[in-house]
Structure formats: C-alpha cells, structure tokens
Amino acid sequence: MQYAQILEAEIAQDERLLLMTPLAHAAGLFAQSALVRGATIVIEPGFDAARALDLLRDRGSPGPSSCRR
C-alpha cells in the first residue's frame, strides 16, 4: 500500500494515462493511483503500437507522467 501511495502523489488530476499492459502488474497501481486523484485512464486490452499512435494522435499526449524517469 505504501508504494501505491507514493505513485498516487505523482499523478495529477489533469493527467491522462494510456495503459496497455496487464492490470495485475504495475499498471494496476498506476490505475488505482490515477483513479484516486481523478485522472483520466484509457485502458486497452493489450499493446498494439498502431493503436497507441492512433490514440495519441486523436487524444493527445497522455501527459508528463508517462515520461518520468
């Protein structure tokens, strides 16, 4: 739970996350943290490079959290 709290503090309400990995892994922590903060989450059933590019083109960059460290 402590790790999720750390992640929660790094995701802002105005950010968008594009998740294309299993929620049973780290993506689930990011999703939980984003939900707590009121951020927008786009969850896809799996990774598809063409789909990711389409989503980024249509909806814009998910935000700075995707580029951290």
Please report, for the chain, the start and end positions of each structural domain, with discontinuous segments joined by +: 2-63
The SS3 of residue 16 is strand
C-alpha separations of 7 from 26, 33, 65 in Å: 10, 6, 10
Place of tokens 């935000």: 63
pLDDT for residue 4 is more than 70: no
Name the residue type at position 49.
Answer: A
Q: Which range has the top average pLDDT, 5-9, 11-15, 47-51?
A: 47-51
Question: Mean pLDDT score of the chain, rounded to an integer?
Answer: 77
Quote the pTM value. 0.68
* CB of 68 closer than 8 Å to CB of 33: no
Q: What pLDDT, on the 0 to 100 scale, is given for residue 32?
A: 83
